[in-house]
């Protein structure tokens, strides 16, 4: 029972993936002229849906995220004295800690509601009364809830900004922002308003657009950057891959969409493979068996990158972790910086990290 | 399933009630000469019962709460480096977050115990040992517990201040302080030692004084300001509205008390209506039906104000929210500032926010 | 039901034990020349086992702990901007709050994971993926887990320091460090490399070395200071008191060990009595009855001290709390300062509290 002591390396482990470091975010920043106006416009806004964002907001948020990623030692603490209410009525560790970390990194304090059984909502309080309570206690709310309507209903009474961290099957906009930040660090040229045909990318999405909130937000964000995307291939076994009007809305934005039934035949042409935990979508994973699984022996295109919002299951093998395809670690890493950028903007502290005309 | 985007107003929503803003707290401050001595006297004290307070303490706490309410940007952070232990063995979101917010606003750090199953007390540790542990870990304890004795028992071993945030049916002193702060913001003249008859108020309390801790603390605080109160009408269906000696103690303090069985006949003469969630008091709410419910069509006196410690149930209708009677939102809002005032006093930091003779 | 007001003393209670104050930590510091090198060597290291420590590390950590204990007002806040991830997959209040308090006292922020049901591990995420997530969110992890392997497994992917706060039955190294700090405050001469026979101490340990993590870590730390220890008497009813090789390893370090079956016959010669909650070790407590219980009438040697990691049960009577033997309160008190010393070292902030050559 006495455990033999394992010699521990003096040097910290190196990351398994090659995407850390400041080179890529620096290169991205150099591509983007600083423009605070789109971020100033976000002040005090609620963030519920990817539809609220335009290209300029996403680009400037990515620039600010890259600034944060390249300066680990905070000169400024723009959220000093600010209180975040982290309301997770649907359990989560990753997203909750990602927001808490982002808020703390900027100097703020956090109050968490993580056990629904002890909360007002569980005791039958209306969302309007809960919102009024939040008005008195904090400066920003992050809400994850199993229902689609809760975050919209709260808006009727909330006078501080709120971020939708996942409302049922509907959306998860900050995850989508993190996904795009990752794509831009990988290939900054994608932000251009005109992208040459040979630089355009094919994006494969393994998931069900009608009912997966991460996929729904991602597609809306990709639609903003349609000039950079040759096509989006949705790999999905469901008869009804899209919800009513969903496909039409995306195609009207300029996105080219195609549905495929099988993953491996598509892999050789995909530049980006986005895969989500799908074991729980009915029993479709079981039916497909190995077909919806990525691993080192999958026929991935050389240089292709894999994104996964994590936590992962069987669908993404760990034998990919130390390959060039692993950009899912970068995605999780960048999500904290992107959330820092968004939070700074929402609580009207952009003037503390950028030169904003007319603000001291 | 695709949710149509709801256009979101650029301007933040206006409050439903008209009680926010700095006018009223400023007006209250002008009525109260600054006098730090009563607050200096609170340093390191436990706060268990309304009986520990005299008029001067309540008035100076209200003045400091108003100071905090009128200066949202903290120049000083008097609780920097101080740790609050928020021990909620009985679940609560409102009171817990109210204290956490107050402590953070003043620059302090918070450690929460919210799941009794994982705590020492659940594992059979004595309250004395839990208190000794708290001595080592923090600077102040806030305790909510289902038993009346726990907070008193802890005093035997605790060497840091403790605030009773609700001990069974006994008391909830900080809620009472918040209630009085609200009354004083509404009518500052109530703090005078002599109040002309026409300015005195009739206070209706819908609740059961013998067993509702918010009502018990409120009555004790009202007794301190008996000169301002023409009468207190307790609207209560119970045979035994008061506990043994409770009514006598209050009347000895100068409070005039009357018991009424029905609410609506009293409303036209009440200046203040205090109503509590009463659905859970046996089945008395069911028996009374609509009789114990306030709504817009209730025969409220013009200019009367409604107080409710929240969370609310059916007894207080939302159609009152945007009327002149809605002072329950002000009550919740002010509770944070009143708690800030009390906390500053308890941890001996009054000298950081007031000029105190003999202290640098 | 009306509670009579209990008059509350104006002066805070005095501690029941006589071990508080700054005299003893000051005296300890005077015995130890400042030497930052052993602590600089701890930077970024994981802390999993007592075996990672040598005499110099323990002595310098004790010196720094004493420095913290004698300076309640922090001039420096070396953990400003640093985030602790407090991951308690096995419930605990004491150890969790001890680490949170230590981290806050040094100016840092804390994120807690206390409900395993909502965490990644519960949802089937691998420890490697959880570790990768922690890399992105914080600067140090404290982990308590029911399995022995989890903390070692995490090392394979973690790139920030981790502290083992209890891994199954294996070890609890920071508790052992706190235990030794307590011994050194009691008798600073024990840190000498040569201790005269008459100053050497007899240490009794009531517990089962094969399966109690606090005892396992303590024995390994005591082995480092074998010159100060005449003998360790393990009072234990089990047939197999030690695990395979455990006794041999300790004896090879120079510790003299003896097993005894009964406590009271040993008490008159023991200088230190370490007792642990043993009610749960099968039904051995029931069998032994009063034999494994310490109380005022136990035949303790005059001047002997009692240590107990707390929480306590029946085995340590409260009638010992206000006797000279009570050093278990000092032990809990000192644990926060020792953790502060360790945390400062791990996050490479020793240069902020000591003069370290070559660092500004």
- Give me C80's structure tokens: 């400003």
Chain A residue numbers with beta carbons less than 8 Å from the beta carbon of C85 are: 97
Mark yes or no for CB contact B81/C91 under 8 Å: no
Any idea which of A182-186, A214-218, C132-136, C237-241 has the lowest mean pLDDT? C237-241
Q: Is the reported ipTM for this assembly greater than 0.85?
A: yes
- Name C201's bridge partners: C229
Instruction: For the beta carbon of residue C11, count every other beta carbon within 10 angstroms.
Output: 6
pLDDT at res. C116:
64
DSSP code, position A292 = G
CB B195 within 8 A of CB B226: no
pLDDT at res. A9:
47
In terms of residues, how long is chain A?
A: 360
Probe site for chain B from A133, A159, A164 (most B CB atoms < 10 A) = A133
Instruction: For the beta carbon of residue B223, count every other beta carbon within 10 angstroms.
Output: 20
Alpha carbons C214 and A297: distance in angstroms, whole number: 47
The shortest CB-CB distance from B109 to any of C104, C335, C336 is to C104
Alpha carbons B5 and A50: distance in angstroms, whole number: 10
Q: In angstroms, what separates the C-alpha of C13 from chain B's closest C-alpha?
A: 6
Any idea which of A103-112, A136-145, C269-278 has the lowest mean pLDDT? C269-278
Model confidence over B105-163: pLDDT tens digits?
A: 999 999 998 866 655 555 568 899 999 999 999 999 999 998 999 999 999 899 999 99
CB A167 within 8 A of CB A150: yes
Chain B residue numbers with beta carbons less than 8 Å from the beta carbon of A132 are: 329, 332
Q: Which residues of C touch B (CB under 8 A)?
A: 1-3, 5-6, 8, 10, 12-16, 73-74, 77, 91-94, 97-98, 100-101, 104-105, 107, 110, 114-115, 310-313, 318, 329, 332-333, 335-336
CB B159 within 8 A of CB B135: yes
Residue B280 has pLDDT above 90, yes or no: no
Mark yes or no for CB contact B318/A169 under 8 Å: no
Give the residue range(s) of CATH 3.40.50.1370 domains in chain B: 22-172+334-352, 173-333
- Give me A327's structure tokens: 């950009």
Q: In angstroms, what separates the C-alpha of C248 from chain B's closest C-alpha?
A: 36
Helix (H) or strand (E) holding B206: strand B201-206
Chain A residue numbers with beta carbons less than 8 Å from the beta carbon of B320 are: none
Three-point CA angle C91, C94, C98, nearest 5°: 120
Helix (H) or strand (E) holding B142: strand B140-145
Give the residue ranges of DSSP H helices in chain B.
Answer: 23-31, 37-40, 55-70, 94-105, 127-137, 150-154, 173-186, 213-224, 246-252, 284-288, 328-346
Instruction: For the beta carbon of residue B23, count every other beta carbon within 10 angstroms.
Output: 11
Mark yes or no for CB contact A97/C109 under 8 Å: no
Neighbouring residues of A45: CB distance < 8 A, sequence distance ≥ 6 = A52, A161, A346, B8, B10
Q: In angstroms, what separates the C-alpha of B44 from chain C's closest C-alpha?
A: 7
- C22-172+334-352 is a CATH 3.40.640.10 domain: no
pLDDT at res. C29:
96
- In terms of CA atoms, which chain B residue is nearest residue C69? B136
pTM: predicted TM-score of the whole model, two decimal places: 0.92
DSSP code, position A243 = -
Mark yes or no for CB contact A311/C148 under 8 Å: no
pLDDT at res. A1:
33
CB A229 within 8 A of CB A255: yes
Residue A294 has φ and ψ, to the nearest 5°, of -105, 130
Measuring CA to CA, which residue among C270, C342, C259 is closest to residue C305?
A: C270
CB A292 within 8 A of CB A315: yes
Q: In angstroms, what separates the C-alpha of A278 from chain C's closest C-alpha?
A: 14
Q: Higher-confidence residue: B116 or B81?
A: B81
How is domain A173-333 classified at the architecture level of CATH? Answer: 3-Layer(aba) Sandwich (3.40)
Alpha carbons C162 and C109: distance in angstroms, whole number: 16
CB A79 within 8 A of CB A343: yes
Three-point CA angle B204, B207, B212, nearest 5°: 130
- The SS3 assignment for C205 reads strand
Neighbouring residues of B277: CB distance < 8 A, sequence distance ≥ 6 = B308, B311, B312, B313, B315
Q: Higher-confidence residue: A42 or B288?
A: A42
Between the CA of residue A11 and those of A198, C97, C159, what are the distances in Å? Answer: 42, 30, 9
The shortest CB-CB distance from A137 to any of B5, B311, B336 is to B336
Tokens 């929480």 map to which residue?
C311
Q: How far apart are the first and last CA of chain B?
A: 64
- Give me B228's structure tokens: 């301002």
Q: In angstroms, what separates the C-alpha of C331 from chain A's closest C-alpha?
A: 26
DSSP code, position C8 = -
Mark yes or no for CB contact A138/B8 under 8 Å: no
- The SS3 assignment for B252 reads helix
pLDDT in tens, chain C (360 residues): 334 444 454 455 677 787 888 999 999 999 999 999 999 999 999 999 999 999 999 999 999 999 999 997 777 788 988 999 999 988 788 999 999 999 999 999 999 988 666 555 555 688 999 999 999 999 999 999 989 999 999 998 999 999 999 999 999 999 999 999 999 999 999 999 999 999 999 999 999 999 899 999 999 999 999 999 999 999 988 888 999 999 999 999 999 999 999 999 999 999 999 998 754 444 444 444 567 889 999 999 999 999 999 888 888 999 999 999 999 999 999 999 999 999 999 998 888 888 776 543
The shortest CB-CB distance from B120 to any of C2, C311, C336 is to C311
- The SS3 assignment for B170 reads coil
Alpha carbons A25 and A237: distance in angstroms, whole number: 36
Average pLDDT over residues B50-74: 94
Model confidence over B337-346: pLDDT tens digits?
A: 999 999 999 9
pLDDT at res. C123:
59
Alpha carbons B137 and C43: distance in angstroms, whole number: 25
- In terms of CA atoms, which chain C residue is nearest residue B138? C101
Q: Can the peptide bond before residue A311 be classed as cis, meaning omega within 30 degrees of 0?
A: yes
Alpha carbons B121 and B124: distance in angstroms, whole number: 5
- In terms of CA atoms, which chain C residue is nearest residue A76? C81
pLDDT at res. B119:
57
Neighbouring residues of B75: CB distance < 8 A, sequence distance ≥ 6 = none
């Amino acid at each position: 029972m006495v455990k033999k002591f394992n010699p521990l390396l003096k040097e910290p482990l190196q990351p398994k993936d090659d995407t850390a470091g400041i080179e890529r975010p620096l290169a991205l920043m150099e591509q983007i002229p600083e423009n605070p106006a789109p971020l100033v416009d976000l002040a005090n806004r609620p963030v519920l849906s990817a539809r609220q964002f335009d290209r300029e907001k996403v680009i400037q948020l990515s620039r600010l995220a890259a600034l944060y990623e390249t300066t680990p030692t905070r000169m400024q603490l723009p959220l000093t004295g600010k209180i975040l209410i982290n309301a997770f009525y649907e359990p989560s560790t990753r997203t909750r800690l990602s927001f808490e970390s982002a808020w703390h990194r900027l100097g703020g304090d956090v109050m968490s509601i993580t056990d629904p059984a002890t909360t007002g909502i569980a005791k039958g309080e209306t969302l309007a009364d809960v919102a009024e309570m939040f008005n008195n206690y904090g400066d920003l709310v992050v809400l994850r809830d199993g229902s689609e309507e809760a975050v919209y209903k709260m808006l009727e009474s909330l006078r501080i900004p709120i971020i939708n961290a996942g409302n049922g099957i509907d959306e998860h906009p900050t995850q989508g922002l993190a996904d795009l930040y990752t794509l831009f660090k990988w290939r900054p040229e994608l932000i251009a308003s005109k992208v040459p045909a040979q630089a355009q990318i094919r994006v494969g999405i393994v998931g069900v657009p009608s009912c997966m909130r991460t996929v729904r937000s991602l597609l809306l964000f990709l639609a903003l950057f349609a000039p950079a995307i040759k096509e989006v291939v949705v790999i999905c076994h469901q008869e009804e891959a899209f919800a009513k009007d969903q496909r039409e809305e995306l195609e009207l934005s300029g996105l080219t969409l195609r549905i495929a039934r099988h993953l491996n035949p598509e892999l050789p042409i995909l530049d980006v493979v986005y895969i989500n935990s799908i074991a729980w979508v009915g029993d479709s994973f079981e039916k497909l068996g190995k077909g919806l699984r990525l691993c080192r022996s999958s026929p991935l295109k050389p240089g292709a990158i894999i994104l996964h919002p994590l936590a992962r299951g069987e669908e993404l093998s760990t034998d990919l972790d130390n390959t060039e395809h692993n950009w899912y670690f970068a995605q999780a890493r960048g999500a904290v910086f992107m959330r820092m950028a968004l939070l700074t903007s929402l609580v009207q502290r952009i003037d503390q990290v950028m030169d904003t005309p007319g603000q001291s």
